[in-house]
Every structure is written in structure tokens, then in C-alpha cells.
Structure 1
């Protein structure tokens, strides 16, 4: 295979796994670690790093299988995607997706033990169900949201014994609802999207920002609260600049970017919640936005 052909194949596979989105997975795991650190429990940073890597594999497996199951739809609506364009065979995509999911489970088990492996297996199961049979309806929207919530809980398994309080357990639920509403908006982004779906995503953004404010009120700490609120404001601005045009004129050219902004905006939201455990946690989470945003100019996010 010559160099140009190899580069084309590499680009096709990068598009298949939605490479910018992969950087939105580790922040969820880091947030889980931050939630545990806020309880004064000891978090194993090597285990947390390994679990972040496992979450990337799980995410990549999910996006790959998404295109495997959607090959027929994409042939009509998105013929430029790697499978309908012929850059990647459907069979190869299916094998790759399954391998990536299995790899994510095995890595989680290897770096953090049985509990982590079991949670990663649950994640892989929900991902597969969403891609294959649940997509497009309320159950599918909730399944996609629950994947993000479970991803946060995966990060908590990098610690030993700990007990999360009510406010800490609420955070994965809030993020799951936010992603469920974004998924609802994304359901028909390539064809027609109604304003109600965009408004639903905007409501999810507002709910998430209010949740940050609520936690700041419940658990005040001057410096950490200031950073949390600053990140929450950044999250509102980041998502709002794309949701506004999508609501005013819901069409593929505006809704697609709004979906992408909301997905990458999750990194900022994770950072806002992580700030409540410490500024270091927030900055370590936020840094993933840099490669995600940079790569979003080269590859589709949605």
C-alpha cells in the first residue's frame, strides 16, 4: 500500500470512530475520580488513567458499531461516511467495533479489577443495545444518556472504599439527562429537526448549569466555587452560540454544529463539576477540550 493510500485509510478510520469525540470520554472518567477525591478517599491515578483509556476504546467501539448498523441509512442520508463511500467495508467496521468494545472491557479489568471490568461490560452492553435496536426512540435517548452516566461511575472505581453523597450521585444523573436531550436533538439532524428538539437540548443545558449552581450552594468553597461557576458560564456560552442559530432555523447546517457543540461542551461541564473537588481536577479535565476542538475542524463530531 503506497503512502497516499495509507493516509486515506487512516483518515477514513479516524472519521469512523469520530476522533474528536474520543477526547470527550476521559473527562467523564476524571470527573468520577474527582467525585471520589471529594470524599477524601484515595484515588489511584494510574488506575484512573487506564480507565480513561478504556473509556476511549468503548467510545470508539460505539461510534464504529453505530455506522455498522446505520450503513443503509447513511447510504441515503450521508453517502460521504466511510462505509457507504467504500473507504471502509461494513464487515471490517463491525469487526473493529466489537474488538474495541472488548478491548475497553479488558483494559478496565486489567487496570482496576473486577468491579471496573463489570461496569465496563455494562457500558459495552448498553452501547451495543443503543446502536443496534434502541436508537431513535425514548429508550434510545435514555440509553445514550446512561452511557455517559456510567462512564462517570467507571471513574469512581479507581478508588477503594468510599461513599458518595446525594449531591455527588446526582451529577451522573444530570449529565445523563443532558446527553439524552442532546441525543433527541441529534436523532434527525441529517434531515429535519423540529424546534422542540432544539429547545429540549437547550433545556438540558440550562438544567446542567443550574445543577452546578445548586452544588455550589450546597457545598460552598470560595475558590472552587468561583471556578465551577466560571466553567458553567463557559459551558452556557459554548453551547448557546450554536443552539441559538439551530433554534432560529433548524436545518442540517445548523443542527449538526449544535449537536457537535453540545457534545464537546460536555468537557466544560465535566470540568465545572470537577472544580468542586479541586482546581487541579478541573484543569486536568478541561485540557481534553483542546485536541477535541482542534480535530473537530478536520472530522465530523456528529
Structure 2
């Protein structure tokens, strides 16, 4: 298995959209609760779980991909099913171990159910009605992975918003091969409006606390919210009108890219400037990869 085949198997560029989950969760914690050296492992844990899930996704879809997407690593023969299974399970196990190293028993309490949701989606639930809900639960748990024991309750709104957005993106992704429906695409548009409104209200009501001043944080968070809307809403509206597979793929990719400004909005609300800088770097890297022609991959 060549390095390029491994990168394609795990959808490495798409992992940029998951870095901000735990950062957004950590942004809800009071500074004394954070231990930067240890909590820096949480984005690593999150990324490993995501990459492992992508490999297991292709392992579970290997027969269907042989018909619908023969260019993918497993059906094309560039990666064997055994290799994909080993990569996927190894990365998921590494992610759980990293969460335990970062947050001890509390980290495992979230990481183990998160890993179970990843496995359930990839190997059992994806093509069932509950599949989109399971995927959305993965994103919500990923946010809660970053919350400290004293900030779980305050992290719930952040988790709920990213869960809602993920539900819409996952539902749209089911139309990447055969097209979507007006109802699914329209629900995605409505979901984006609700998520944006909720985020904007939360940004305006951002609590006092970290340095930088509430006004600066509010403006920055509102700007990130506007970036979120601009990134995904136009493609979703096009999918609602067009409903073709091409439009669904474009809307799915836009929804994935929109994860970053959405995470940034909630991170900025908490006054975490360093975390926001990381997300800005992730967004810039994603744009550079897109301009260089790297394949933007889906979650299916």
C-alpha cells in the first residue's frame, strides 16, 4: 500500500474538519480546568478516530463501491480489505488511547462510546434510517470529548449545533451517487438557518471572562458565523433546486468545509484565540489543497 493510497483511504484532507470539535468543546471550560500539555492530545484523539472511521467506511462499503465507485482504493485493488481493516481498527484504538492519556477515565467515558458509534455507523447503520443520526451523534460526542468535567453542561449547546449540522450533511451525502430529494436538501437549508441563528445568538451573548473583551469576541464569532453560512448555504440551495448527484456532492463537500468556520464561531465565543488561530490555519490549508486539485472526499 503506497502512501498516496493510504491518504485516499482515510480521507486525510477531510480530517481538517474534525480538529475543531474538541477545541470548541474545550472553549467552554474555565482556564483553570485546562491542562494544555495533556489536552493537546484531544484533537489528536479526535483525528485518529475520524481517520480510522473513514478506513472502516471503505471496508464496510467494499462490495457496493466495486459497483458504484470502482476507483476507490479497495475495489481498484490498491488496498486490500485486510489492510483497510487493520488501518481502521488501529487508528480507532489509537484515538481511544490518546483520549485516555489526555483526560484519564473521563476521556475514556466519552471516547469509548464515540468509537462504538463510529463502528456502528461504518459497519451496520450507514444504509439504515438511523445512519445519519448515528453519524451526527459521533460529531456531538467528539465535541464533548473536549469538555472538562466541570464544563460538560456548558458544552452541550456547542455539541447540539455541530450535531444538527452533521445530520444535514450526512443526509445530503446519501444523494452523492443517485441524487437527492427536495425534502432532504430543503431540510439541510433549514438546518443551516437554524444553526446560524443559534450560533449568532450565542455569540452575541458570549460570557465575559477570557481576555480580549466581549465586544471583540462577539464581532469575531459573528464573522465566523457569516463565513459558515457563506460556505454551505449556496450549495445547499442549489441542491434543493437541482437535486442531481453532482449538486448533492457539491453541497456535501461545502457542508464539510463549513464545519471549520462553525467550530471557529463557538471557539471565538469562548475567547480561545490560540484555538481560533489553529482553525484559521486548517481552513487555509483546506483551501490550498482544493486549489491544487486534491480530491475533496465525502463522508460516505
Q: Cα deviations across residues 209-254 of structure 1 (Å, max 9, x unaligned)?
A: 1111221343363111111111111111111232233222122222
TM-score by length of 1: 0.90
Structure 1 Cα separation of the partners of residues 87 and 11 of structure 2: 14
Structure 1 Cα separation of the partners of residues 287 and 135 of structure 2: 22
Does the residue aligned with 1:298 lie in a helix, a strand or coil?
coil
Corresponding residue for residue 281 of structure 2: 287
Change (3 A) 1:218 1:137: farther
Mapping 1:1-302, distance limit 5 Å: 9-36=2-29, 39-157=30-148, 162-164=150-152, 168-219=155-206, 221-278=214-271, 280=273, 281-296=275-290, 297-302=293-298
Can you give the 5+ residue segments of structure 1 that lack an aligned partner in the other structure? Answer: 1-5
Moved over 4 A (4+): none
TM-score by length of 2: 0.90
Corresponding residue for residue 211 of structure 2: none
Can you give the 5+ residue segments of structure 2 that lack an aligned partner in the other structure? Answer: 208-213
Matched residue pairs, number? 289
Does the residue aligned with 2:27 lie in a helix, a strand or coil?
helix
Shift of 1:91: 1.4
**Residues 179, 248 of structure 2: 8 Å contact kept:** no
Change (3 A) 1:292 1:47: farther
Q: Cα deviations across residues 22-45 of structure 1 (Å, max 9, x unaligned)?
A: 111111111111111xx4543112
Calculate the aligned-residue CA RMSD, in Å.
Answer: 1.8
Structure 2 Cα separation of the partners of residues 225 and 217 of structure 1: 5
